[in-house]
Amino acid sequence: MVSTQSSSSSSSSWFATCPRGVERLLVEELQQLGASHTRETIAGVTFKGSQSVAYRACLWSRLSNSIMLPLGESEANDRASIYESLSEIEWGRIFDVDTSFLINFSGTNSHIRDTRFGAQICKDAVVDWYRVNLGRVPPRDRANPEIRIRVRLSKKGISVALDLSGGSLHKRGYRSGSGESPLKENLAAAVLLNAKWPEIAKDQGALIDPMCGSGTLLIEGALMCADVAPAINRAQFGFEKWKGHNPEQWEVLVADARGRAERGLSSDHPEVRGYDDDLRVIRYAEKNIALAGLSKIVRVSCKDLKNLKKPTHKPLPNGLFVCNAPYGKRLGEKDSLAYLYRHLGEVMASEFGGWDAAILTSEAELAKAIRLRSHKQFFLPNGPIDTRLYLFNLRENYLSQDMSEITSLGTKNSNLELDQAEGPFANRVKKNLRRLSGWISREGIECYRLYDADMPEYAVAVDVYGQRLNVSEYKAPIGVDKQGAEARLSEVLQVLPKIFSIPASAIMLKQRHRQRKGVQYQKKETAKGELFSIDEHGAKFLVNLNDYIDTGLFLDHRPLRRRLKSEAKGKDFLNLYSYTGAASIQAALGGSRSTTSVDHSKTYLAWYRKNLAHNGLSEARNKLCQADCQTWLETNDDSFDLILLDPPSFSNSSRMNNYLDIQRDHIDLVHASMARLRENGILYFSTNFRKFEIDGSLEKKYLIEDITKETLDPDFRRGKPIHRCWKILHGKL
């Protein structure tokens, strides 16, 4: 075997391994540590330098996986030649016979098809060398060997090296636990170095991670600005039992590093803060921070993205906003993540203007959803996931606009001239607009019902959704001829664009008939999947005017959602027949301790998941359950402070064992819901079944108050109430 080492004792060849995409940064780091003749390879860097340089790399490299001393290479590629090549190395000059060792073998070919087989060949060669030359064999230790020998098989043959690190250098020794997809420490360091964090820290810029998980980015950032060697607390290195080890030289380097760390930790340091909405991983982060000795520098707290604000206790004009955002291949569903990234961009623009930002993600489309201009990107794989780091300069970097940023038509057109459109329908619509305009403006209402078959011959409902209209055609009353109904519908569709000064394409027409028992609304064959965003009392909801009879938001329940938001603080909320989760969103925004949303529809729960992400909320405290509510109530033992029971009038989903009839089944549903309600809790029961009558037996068992009038806003206070609603408490009248 040909040795790869120079004859010069003052300068040897070394090899540093690293994650893919980090090679360029590692070259710069090694040069700063005194290395020369650096050369990038795939997932590594070769360099030259004294033994002191190799020691410094082991102690100070934030990017390496390992530092290796090459022992030789050959063209060996089969069992016999590999055995012979390793037998030529004088192993007694490398480690003592009493030292435990392990062979790490990588690579395969037509002769060596299993790395375990390759490792066995190499192990036999080493053991046989000691048996022949010393009459004894060294012990093998797979768990914690004192010496690691790395053998790599490639097309050119094999290369053999001594691992001076003794296990990957990314393991700093401070990680006690992590979240679902932890970022390795050296990859976190690469993120920060690409984002120029050391320069920002020198300028007293802050470091904020809004999704910090177990705190790896924060800890690595604090170690950098406190000048703490990443391996200072490492328990064991691979060179300690190497016969070429110079303990005195190593101790000098360690003593210097400890002195630098002591000075760095006691000096002034930048603001370093992290947030996560999962209390469990925040507890992990706190333990990791303490183990790293950074409790006085790094602070973390449990907070949703929706509540994230730039700290205000002191001026923070500059800093780095950084996070390893969800990818869609781990935490959360990919189709909902675009809305989370959208919210992330809004926070970056509104709270951290003037800062720099670095977002690590796997999907270009997700990065685009941030809607801010990225000036630089780096390929930086996170293990098997091909991720990219996107850098943003948040100075004069503005959010791109889209159709979801809309204003209310009612507010925009509350002072219409009567001659813009004429006729009885036009006059009624304009009259309703004038009547509602004050309320719309005062309450900031963006979606509302403008017209609801006020004149029987015009049998339509007109709902405003921002800059769009949803027109639902009812079955014409008896006595109204079909031809006349069609003419009046045509008139409606011609008049509305004139009144609102919008194109006809902004109006969606649907035919809505009274739902018969056993009939479910189905998705339209022309479904487009188009979602756009509307606002309601601080919440953002995604609606779809095209694909379903219903839009994803029941407008008549707006006051009830407002009430739930005001009452939810610190409470556990249960949303039965949760639909797209609008009530749960409002409860969460109101400060609920937790929300649980139950619905048998996979489609609606996926929609709710998007609404969660769109509001910067996660599933850590907002649980989704796909189940038949009746069955779920029978099998679940959890209790709640606040419950919403809003079943459909009828339902016969294929997932249910039987169809639901609200008039028939409401007694059992109320009893089952009350069994889950805590002693001082509140159950709100609502139904849209016009002929519904609440059973008297319930009024004998519980305190029941009809609050229907309180749950109807001005746009629904006409004619017979669109829904009925009761407040139910434990106890008898």
pLDDT in tens, 399-457: 886 544 444 565 444 444 434 567 899 999 999 999 999 999 999 999 999 999 999 88
**290: enclosing H helix or E strand:** helix 279-291
**pLDDT score at 618:** 86
Position 180 scores a pLDDT of 59
Which fold, 409-511?
Transcription Regulator spoIIAA (3.30.750)
Closest residue by Cα to residue 149 from 65, 91, 107, 97: 91
Tell me which architecture the domain covering 532-730 has in CATH.
3-Layer(aba) Sandwich (3.40)
Per-residue pLDDT at 649: 87
Give 182's DSSP letter.
P
Contacting residues for 608 by C-beta, under 8 A, at least 6 apart: 578, 579, 580, 581, 584, 597, 599, 624
Contact 692, 670 (CB under 8 A): no
Question: Chain-wide mean pLDDT for the chain?
Answer: 89
Task: Give dist(CA 686, CA 640) in Å, integer.
Answer: 18
Q: pLDDT for 108-150, tens place per residue?
A: 999 999 999 999 999 999 999 999 999 999 999 988 999 999 9
The tens digit of pLDDT for each residue in 216-248 reads 999 999 999 999 999 998 888 999 999 999 999
The span from the CA of 237 to the CA of 224, in Å, is: 22
CA 282 from centre of chain: 15
d(CA 244, CA 233): 23
Question: In sequence order, which residues have a C-beta less than 8 Å from that of residue 28 and are 6 or more positions away?
Answer: none
Q: Could you give the CA distance from residue 675 to residue 673 in angstroms, rounded to a whole number?
A: 5
pLDDT at 116: 95
Which CATH fold would you assign to the domain 12-163? VC0802-like (3.30.2130)
Contact status, residue 148 vs residue 104, Cβ threshold 8 Å: yes
pTM strictly above 0.85: no
Beta bridge partners of 586: none
Give which of 211, 465, 213, 214 is closest to 340, Cα–Cα: 211
Q: Which residues of the chain fall below pLDDT 50? A: 6-9, 330-332, 403-407, 411-419, 514-522, 525-527, 654-656
- Write down the pLDDT at residue 519: 42
Phi, psi of 623 (to 5 degrees): -85, 140
714: which DSSP letter?
G
Q: What is the pLDDT of residue 177?
A: 65
Q: What integer pLDDT is reported at residue 657 of this predicted model? A: 53
CATH 3.40.50.150 domain span(s) along the chain: 185-226+269-393, 532-730
Does residue 512 contact residue 474 with C-beta atoms inside 8 Å?
yes
Chain region(s) in the chain for CATH 3.30.2130.30: 12-163
Sheet holding 468-473, edge to edge: 447-452, 460-465, 468-473, 507-511
DSSP characters over 311-379? --SS----EEEEEE---SSSSS-HHHHHHHHHHHHHHHHHH-TTSEEEEEES-HHHHHHT-S-EEEEEE
Q: Give strand ranges (E) for 204-332.
A: 206-209, 272-276, 298-302, 319-324
What would the pLDDT profile of 244-269 be if each residue is shown by its tens digit? 999 999 999 999 999 999 999 999 89
What topology is assigned to 185-226+269-393 in CATH?
Rossmann fold (3.40.50)
Question: What's the pLDDT at 242?
Answer: 97
* Per-residue pLDDT reduced to its tens digit, 26-50: 999 999 999 999 999 999 999 999 9
Q: Which two tokens stand for residue 442?
A: 């005062």
Burial degree of 162 (CB within 10 A; 0-12, 13-18, 19+): buried
Residue-level pLDDT at 329: 55
